[in-house]
Structure 1
Amino acid sequence: MSRHVAIVTDSTAYLPPRMMERHGITSVPLTVVLGDQVLEEGNEISARSLAQALQKRRSVTTSRPSPEVFAQAYRAAAEAGATGIVSLHLSSELSGTHDAAALAAKDAPVPVRVVDTGMVAMALGFCALAAAEAAEAGGTLDEAVAAAEKRASGTSAYFYVDTLDYLRRGGRIGTAQALLGSALAVKPLLELEGGRIELREKVRTASKAIARLEEIVAERAGTSHVDIAVHHLAAPERAAALADRLREKVPGLEDLHVSEVGAVIGAHTGPGLLGAVVSAR
């Protein structure tokens, strides 16, 4: 689709392919390093393969896209007719992806606004959708950016992990917090706060943690019109059950997306992840 404002995001948005195609959103892949293999998220490594590697305790790390990959995406958008680009990415507190995009934007053939959404997963995806919808309505570059930023301000992300070890290894949560959770044998509930992953609550069992996650999401949604995304890694039954309960408990629910996260986020959370994103319309 050709429009004057193009939308670019990255593979951690986990937008459904049909939705990206419908709105003309381009995704730039992050990479996963599995042993001596460097693999593009979504194209060369699946969530299932990643989960199996983690369960076998294989070495897994992640890496941002290179500036040149972003440069190629910006050139392609310009060649397709875009006169401006909004490039929306996961929190700069979690990845250098935003920095790589900003470097590429300096030499792009059209103006590029690079936005650190402070989000990840469908919290980022909802921002990209808001920008795309603004562009489709004839909005300017500034208006598309404003739509994404407004969506980000009304979006919250919460998640449960079976263990904090993966987040500790990747440097995404403090060692002290991770060791405390292990020492007390508690199950952590986390949230995205200020672009960082923060420990919200410590719950004694997995079942109680997941029940509490449901409560937090329902409280956050209230009676407002919201979209919700439920994410998981190698836990489809947990995700389906949570989605069913949220359909019953959130009166203003508009769209509900259920999906498995990709390899990049999965590498830092581990199998068993269950997350929920609440985004006000």
Structure 2
Amino acid sequence: MPDRRIAVVTDSTSSLTAEEAAEHGIVVIPLQVIIGATSYDEGVGGASPQMVAEALKNFTPVSTSKPTPTGMLEAYQRLVDEGYDEIVAVHISGEMSGTFDSARVAARDAPVPVHVVDTRQVGPAVGYAAIAAAEAIAAGASGEDAVELARSWAEASTTLFYVDTLEYLRRGGRVGSAAAFIGGALAVKPLLRIEDGSIVSFEKVRTAGKALGRLEDKAVEAAGDRRVHVVVAHLSSPDRAHQLASKISARVDLAAPIRNAELGAVLGAHVGPGMVAVCVSPADRADL
């Protein structure tokens, strides 16, 4: 019996570059960004981080939308038409987006088995989980084994970030109104992390400079003695991101140079200009 062909799917919030997705054969399904009255797919040729940042600065309404189950099913069908027998779908936290639910609904009607993974993560941590699944499948792993590896990889990753204001997270329902009001009233700069799929505050500082220093220390702490991959992402804050990446580079065992990139349009819409994030993910399976 010939080997089963297993595809890996993720969504555009995974922060994979086009080159990374192509290298690992990962299919990326876009979320949508609505700027004013116009809807764009996230990604090349669609909504860019710069478009979102400019709209937010100009007080133009910005919102986001998950892929529909129908759109997901169409993507699965294309893969079946290409000869795939099984699909592993690795997605943003179900606590943060309805993308996971759309994938589950589509999976019920798919003509081949679809294993849907709620990574309980966002951004690059989702991307690293998808890459781990794709590499495992390329090495001969089953779909079920790839699912477990993706979950383990996401769980072993750390996502930390700083925002200039909680207002954008409040608008999107990602933090409560009371928390956003208190943060603004006291001029507090919260440091946030993804914990069990949701955003939680783990420390408060008074200045952006102190926030970057604490992000650096927490990233180093998350890396420990492991060899790691690190991504520093930002929205309209290249200088802050470059500074943070340089300092982390000198303190951790990197498997590759830190990737310093602007945050994707969908996530950017919920955090606003000035945001800086860092993702620390293991480079070796033995460190899960």
TM-score by length of 1: 0.97
Residue 36 of structure 1: aligned partner = 37
Residue 195 of structure 1: aligned partner = 197
Residue 264 of structure 2: aligned partner = 262
Residue 17 of structure 1: aligned partner = 18
Runs of 4+ more than 2 Å apart: none
Q: For 1:3 and 1:210, how far apart are their aligned partners in 2?
A: 47
Asked whether 1:49 is paired with 2:51, we answer: yes
CA contact (8 A) 2:30 2:41 kept: yes
Letter in 1 for 2:62: V
Asked whether 1:101 is paired with 2:111, we answer: no
Aligned to 1:189, the other structure's residue is in SS state strand
Which moved further from structure 2: 35-44 or 115-124? 35-44
Aligned to 2:255, the other structure's residue is in SS state strand
TM-score by length of 2: 0.94
Deviations 1:162-191 (A, max 9, x none): 100000111001212111111111111100
Residue 161 of structure 1: aligned partner = 163
Aligned to 1:171, the other structure's residue is in SS state coil
Q: For 1:180 and 1:204, how far apart are their aligned partners in 2?
A: 13
CA contact (8 A) 1:70 1:100 kept: yes
Residue 113 of structure 1: aligned partner = 115
Shift of 1:72: 1.3
Q: For 1:196 and 1:176, how far apart are their aligned partners in 2?
A: 17
Residue 173 of structure 1: aligned partner = 175
Aligned residues: percent identity? Answer: 47
CA contact (8 A) 1:3 1:135 kept: no
CA contact (8 A) 2:5 2:84 kept: yes
Q: For 1:62 and 1:231, how far apart are their aligned partners in 2?
A: 19
Aligned to 2:160, the other structure's residue is in SS state strand
Shift of 1:267: 0.6
Asked whether 1:130 is paired with 2:143, we answer: no
Residue 150 of structure 1: aligned partner = 152
Shift of 1:73: 1.1
CA contact (8 A) 1:161 1:187 kept: yes
Aligned length: 279
Distance 1:211 1:3, change over 3 A: farther
Q: For 1:232 and 1:51, how far apart are their aligned partners in 2?
A: 11
Q: For 2:93 and 2:151, how far apart are their aligned partners in 1?
A: 13
Aligned to 2:246, the other structure's residue is in SS state helix
Shift of 1:124: 0.5
CA contact (8 A) 2:232 2:279 kept: yes
Letter in 2 for 1:278: V
Aligned to 1:191, the other structure's residue is in SS state strand
CA contact (8 A) 2:242 2:260 kept: yes
Aligned to 1:106, the other structure's residue is in SS state helix
Residue 248 of structure 1: aligned partner = 250
Residue 236 of structure 1: aligned partner = 238
User: Pairwise CA RMSD of aligned residues?
Assistant: 1.2
CA contact (8 A) 2:120 2:197 kept: yes
Deviations 1:55-101 (A, max 9, x none): 00111111101111111111111122211100011011111001111
